């Protein structure tokens, strides 16, 4: 009988953890939209450090939102780390088995890897972070990476983020 209650409590704990994760993400998005960047950072920082987050289809978006919150708070070093993680998660790694399996799946069932525009903006904001901490050479490199990422998926979409080309 006691084992049955322990099992029930364990199942309830697991269900509540899954519920907390999704509600935390909704809360983080809401906080970001309201301009509550400290709250957003706190929620997402905790979540992206979990193993579960790396398997979440929205992982790159979580990292980008975390980085944007840190950027807006002026924590450029933390933002650089989060942008790096976001760029890494959006960059297709052909050599991994998981990537090969993902390519075989129906497009709707694949892990989200971001768009060229999101990748371009990640490099752009990384460049601004480096500029803010007076590392102008790394800023120049990131702005170049942003221009390279601004290629679009269709004819007529390439080079359409004007601000990137001014940097």
Tens of pLDDT along the chain (167 residues) come to 444 444 433 333 333 444 445 566 788 888 888 999 999 999 888 888 876 777 777 788 889 999 999 999 999 999 999 999 999 988 765 555 555 555 555 555 555 566 777 888 899 999 999 999 999 999 999 998 988 887 755 565 566 666 666 66
Instruction: Give pLDDT, residue 14.
Output: 37
Tell me how far CA of residue 46 lies from CA of 5, 43, 62, 131, in angstroms. 30, 6, 11, 28
H-only helix segments in 34-115? 37-48, 51-54, 59-72, 76-90, 97-104
Look at the block and give the residue holding tokens 């892990």.
111
**Measured between alpha carbons, how far apart are the two ends of the chain, in Å?**
68
pTM of the model: 0.71
Instruction: Please tell me what DSSP assigns to residue 107.
Output: G
Instruction: Give pLDDT, residue 52.
Output: 72
User: What would the pLDDT profile of 56-84 be if each residue is shown by its tens digit?
Assistant: 777 888 899 999 999 999 999 999 999 99
What's the rounded Cα separation, in Å, for the pair 137 and 126? Answer: 12
What's the rounded Cα separation, in Å, for the pair 114 and 86? Answer: 9
Q: Could you tell me if 69 and 44 are in contact, meaning their C-beta atoms sit under 8 angstroms apart?
A: yes
SS3 content of the chain, % helix, strand, coil (to 5): 75, 0, 25
What's the rounded Cα separation, in Å, for the pair 29 and 53? Answer: 15
């Amino acid at each position: 009988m006691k084992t049955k209650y322990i099992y029930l409590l364990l199942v309830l704990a697991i269900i509540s953890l899954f519920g907390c994760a999704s509600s935390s993400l909704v809360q983080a998005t809401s906080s970001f939209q309201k301009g509550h960047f400290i709250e957003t950072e706190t929620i997402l920082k905790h979540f992206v450090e979990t193993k579960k987050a790396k398997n979440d289809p929205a992982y790159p978006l979580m990292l980008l939102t975390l980085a944007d919150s840190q950027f807006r708070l002026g924590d450029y070093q933390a933002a650089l780390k989060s942008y790096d993680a976001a760029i890494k998660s959006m960059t297709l790694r052909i050599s991994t088995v998981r990537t090969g399996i993902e390519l075989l799946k129906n497009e709707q069932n694949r892990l989200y890897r971001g768009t060229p525009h999101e990748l371009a903006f990640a490099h752009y904001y990384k460049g601004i972070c480096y500029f803010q901490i007076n590392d102008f050479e790394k800023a120049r490199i990131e702005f170049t990476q942003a221009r390279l990422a601004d290629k679009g998926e269709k004819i007529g979409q390439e080079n359409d983020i004007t601000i990137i080309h001014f940097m």
